Amino acid sequence: MYNICVNPTHPSPYDLQQDVHRITLYSTVAKEHQRRSMRKHLTLHLDMNCFYAQVEQRAYNLYGLPLAMGGWRKPDGTPRGIVATASYEARRLGIETAMSAFEAHQICPYLVFMQIDYDKYKGISRRLKAIMEDFAPDVEKYSMDEYFMDVSFLRQHSRAGIEDFVKKMKGAIYSELGLVSSMGVATSKTYAKLASGRRKPDGLMMILNPDDAAQHLFHLPLDKVWGIGRRRYAKLQRQGLHTIADAHKHGPALFRKLFGEMQGQLFYEIVTGRDQARVLDNEDHIPDEVSYMHTFSDWSDDEDRIRGEIVKAVRKVCYRLRGYNRKSRRWACHIRYQDVKWDGVTFAFATPGHTNLDDYVLEACLPQALRIIRQALRGGHTIRGIGLHTIEMLQVDQLELFFQENKQVQNLYLAADCINNAYGADTLVKAAIKNGVPGKTHFVNRS
C-alpha cells in the first residue's frame, strides 16, 4: 500500500540511503549530538564485515572465493567499474576499495565481480536492526552495515557478563541471517567504533577502562579517529602528535591552540575517549555534508551526455537535502578525467542563497562545469566521472534577507518528491537525466 502525499509541504518518507553505499560523513563533535548528562555510559558499535560481499557469498555459496563488489566484465571479458568493497579472500591478495576493476583483475585474474544489489542489502539491514532492537531499545543506524547501541544498562555487569551479552547478540544475527560481525564496546562512542575495527572479522573488543584503552588503542595514529582528517592530522604531526597516546600525554592545550578553544577541546575529548556523544535516533542522524559521485562505465567525450550526468548529480544531492530538511549555498563539483592517475578538476561555486532546489544549483554549476569539460575535451582528455557535494548546510526554517526561493518552483519539486517517494525514484524526472552517459553502474537496479 502506497503512502500517497496529498499536501506537497508534507511529502511521503524520503529514501535517504538511495544509491548511498559508503559511510556518510559524520562526527561526534557536533553540539546536538552530545549527551546532556555526564554520567558514565557504555556504547556498542557493530560492523558487518565486508557486508555486500558477505551477503553475496552466502547467497551464491561463494565462500573461499575472492569477490569484488561493484565491478563487472564487458562481453569480451574486459573488467570495468570500481571496487566498492571486497571479500577478505580478495583483500588478502591486495584488492582494495576504490581500486579500478581493471587493476584488480591484473592482481587476480580469477577475481569474481558482482554488482551491488542495493535492495537486497537494504532489506537485510532492516532485519539486522530488528534483531538488535530485541536486545536494547536505543539503536542508531550509522550506515547500512554499521550500527550503534546504547548498552549503559550493562555498566554494573562484570566483564564476563558484558561479553556474554555481546556473544548472544552475535549468535542471534548469525542464526537468522547467516552473517558474521565485529563488535566493540567502550565507554565512548568514538572508542567503541575504533574497538570494533581491531578484531576483524567476527571479533569482539571491549574498552571498559583506561588500561584497556592503553593496551589496544593508544598506538593508533590520530587520523583513525572521527573528525581528525588528513589536514588536521598534518597539523598535529607538525607539533609532534602522531598517536592517541601522544594526545593523552600532551593534554588539551595544543588542540585548543590549533583548532580553537571550543572545537579544539572537543577534538581532544573524542581522541582521548572522553566524548559524550549519544546514540541517536534516525531523525537525529544528519550527515555533515551530502555528496554524490558517479564513475562512468566507460569514459565519454560527449558533452551533452556528460551534462546529463551533472543534472543527475544535482538531482541526487538536492533530493537528499530536501529529505534532511537542509539547504546549502556553497557547493563543490568534481570533474574526473580518464588518465593514469584519474585526476580531474574540483571547483567551488555558490547559489544566490541557501537552497535545495535543482534549478538554482544547476544555474550556478553548469556554466563553470561545461567550460571545464570543453577545455578538457579540447586538450585531449575524456571524462570518467562526476561528483557533487555541499560545503555547508543549514536548516530549512532559517530565513534569508536577500534571497527567497520561487514558491511555485519549490512546490513543484516537493510534489515531484511525493510522486517519486510513493511510486519509485525515477517516476518523474528531468528529461536531461535520460541523456546521461550509457553503461553499467555499481548497482544492479541501475544497470
Give SS3 for 211: helix
Tell me, what's the pLDDT at 329?
94
Q: What is the percentage of the chain residues whose pLDDT exceeds 90?
A: 56
Tell me, what's the pLDDT at 34?
66
Domain spans, the chain: 287-446
Segment 4-16 shows an average pLDDT of 55
Tell me, what's the pLDDT at 26?
46
Q: State the residue for C-alpha cell 548469525.
A: 174
Whether residue 25 has pLDDT greater than 70? no
Tell me, what's the pLDDT at 31?
56
Tell me, what's the pLDDT at 424?
81
Tell me, what's the pLDDT at 33?
65
Contacts of 400 (CB under 8 A, 6+ apart): 353, 354
Tell me, what's the pLDDT at 66?
95
Tell me, what's the pLDDT at 47?
95
Q: Which amino acid is at 205?
A: M
Report in angstroms the alpha-carbon separations of 170 from 135, 163, 242.
11, 11, 34
Tell me, what's the pLDDT at 109?
93
The model's confidence at residue 386, banded by pLDDT at 50, 70 and 90, is very high
Calculate helix-pair angle for 303-324, 407-423, nearest 10 degrees: 90
Tell me, what's the pLDDT at 35?
66
The model's confidence at residue 134, banded by pLDDT at 50, 70 and 90, is very high
The mean-pLDDT minimum among 171-180, 275-284, 306-315, 321-330 falls in 275-284
Segment 385-414 shows an average pLDDT of 86
The model's confidence at residue 4, banded by pLDDT at 50, 70 and 90, is very low
Per the model's pLDDT, the better-predicted residue between 443 and 152 turns out to be: 152
- Tell me which range, 10-14, 373-377, 397-401, is most confidently predicted by mean pLDDT: 373-377
The model's confidence at residue 342, banded by pLDDT at 50, 70 and 90, is low
- Per-residue pLDDT of 246-290, as tens digits, reads 999 999 999 999 988 888 888 898 899 988 888 887 555 677 788
How far is Cα 181 from Cα 207, in angstroms, rounded to an integer?
18
Let me know if 303 is a catalytic residue.
Answer: no
Segment 153-173 shows an average pLDDT of 96
The model's confidence at residue 440, banded by pLDDT at 50, 70 and 90, is low
Closest CA to 307 of 446, 440, 435: 435
Tell me, what's the pLDDT at 263?
82
Tell me, what's the pLDDT at 284?
52
Whether residue 27 has pLDDT greater than 90? no
Per the model's pLDDT, the better-predicted residue between 289 and 355 turns out to be: 355
- Per-residue pLDDT of 194-232, as tens digits, reads 999 998 889 999 999 999 999 999 999 999 997 788 889
Which of the following is catalytic: 56, 140, 146, 269?
A: 146
Three cell numbers at 36? 546532556
Segment 319-347 shows an average pLDDT of 87
Closest CA to 327 of 387, 424, 410: 410
Per the model's pLDDT, the better-predicted residue between 12 and 392 turns out to be: 392
The model's confidence at residue 37, banded by pLDDT at 50, 70 and 90, is low
What is the residue-averaged pLDDT of the chain?
86
Q: How far is C-alpha 423 from the geometric centre of its chain's CA atoms?
A: 25
Count of C-beta atoms within a 10 Å radius of residue 442? 23
Segment 142-154 shows an average pLDDT of 92
What CATH topology corresponds to 287-446? Answer: Dna Ligase; domain 1 (3.30.1490)
Segment 84-101 shows an average pLDDT of 91
Alpha helices in 272-406 (DSSP H): 303-324, 358-378
